[in-house]
A = this chain, B = another copy of it.
């Protein structure tokens, strides 16, 4: 048991409607004796939300304290897209699908807490993971004096049996397949599905086939490649195959394409912010396509100086999001830098999707910086004078030559 329980009156719980957060709901009522407000978000995880309402009511939550909201458009527009402008990949590979959803949920919980005068918020993330950090940094950054309840760090329900017992004692309905231990743990939203734990905990063993849920096995994907175009405006994707789509609809469309072709699977051992290495399996079908496409349109519309600066700051930007610092000033400063670069990242990318891969095969833009006249082997009427290269090299070499002479002579006079 940790520190003394706080005196809480009303708590806003991030509620999925599932068994675990239902147990938390009841535990909050019984342990803290407080009123529970539930917040259930549709982030595109692919589950019906209305059952969550019924369940919350059943567990004694007042109808006016049950909040269910479709956040898919906001999620993609204000979180996923800004992040993709940066080509963010944590540890070179991970597309941050879970990380990017947490700040939005935290923000909504705080908004509801303010509206209802709640003095606490609560999440269902465990005590060894990144998500607890992401939720709580979000809460504190937005409402610095809010009370935070993290049941998994507080309660003594530390085994599956204890949880089931608690549920049974408290008349919480338990779906049959939830009685036993799940073979792995899942988080899903419109951007990705992550799986970790249990059968995945040996990083030497291949991920079993049944873990994948969002993508077809590349081996079972179509034998014929599919071509698709994505249009960008100011760094954000706006149309697929020429059809304009809202952010949420666009990512949904890319997810369908990615699923069909087995694109976006990632088996990764990563470094958690809490200091642990963990192994996860990610499926980010639409996101994987989007990253490739965004790099493609940037390649013709971004100046080298801009592109390289973006590449240099990307690891830090990705780390900030991974670690939960979405609302920190340094993330916002980096976002200002990134967004500044995207003003003319506009145009069309053509991609080939085939058995697990998305590859850029063409890019065009009214704002293209690619200049065939400049690059062609023939010297044309254009700006480029071959003789300039000599001076360019000579002055770039000058310091190296001075250095070589110094090194060759050793100490002067010696």
Contact = CB atoms under 8 A, between A and B. Distances in A.
Nearest to A366: B411
A131 to B, nearest CB: 11
B377 A197 contact: yes
Interface in A379-414: 379, 383-408, 410-414
5 tightest A-B CB contacts, nearest first: A391-B391, A275-B398, A127-B386, A366-B411, A144-B401
Of A142, A201, A309, most B-chain CB atoms within 10 Å: A309
Contacts of A328: 303, 305, 400
Interface of A: 2-3, 87, 91-93, 126-128, 132-133, 136-137, 140-145, 150, 152-153, 158-159, 185, 197-198, 201-207, 218-219, 223, 225, 265, 267-271, 274-279, 295-296, 299-300, 303-309, 311-316, 319, 325, 327-330, 332-334, 336-341, 344, 346, 350, 352, 354-357, 359-364, 366-372, 374-379, 383-408, 410-414
Contacts of A143: 404
A387 B299 contact: no
A401 B383 contact: yes
A336 B384 CA distance: 32
Of A133, A304, A319, most B-chain CB atoms within 10 Å: A304
A222 to B, nearest CB: 11
A368 B377 CA distance: 42
Contacts of A314: 315
B133 A411 contact: no
A191 B80 CA distance: 36
Nearest to A206: B361
Q: How many copies of the chain does the oligomer comprise?
A: 4
A362 to B, nearest CB: 4
B402 A144 contact: yes
A385 B394 contact: yes
Contact of A384 (B128, B206, B411): B128
Contacts of A386: 127-128, 152-153
A61 B304 CA distance: 41
28 contacts: A3-B387, A126-B377, A133-B393, A133-B396, A140-B404, A141-B403, A145-B401, A153-B386, A204-B363, A206-B350, A275-B395, A275-B399, A276-B384, A277-B374, A277-B375, A305-B328, A308-B330, A329-B403, A333-B337, A346-B411, A366-B410, A367-B406, A368-B406, A374-B402, A383-B401, A388-B392, A391-B391, A391-B395
A393 B185 CA distance: 23
A274 B153 contact: no
B276 A305 contact: no
A308 to B, nearest CB: 6
B303 A329 contact: yes
Contacts of A374: 128, 276-277, 398, 402
A336 B387 CA distance: 36
A61 B198 CA distance: 50
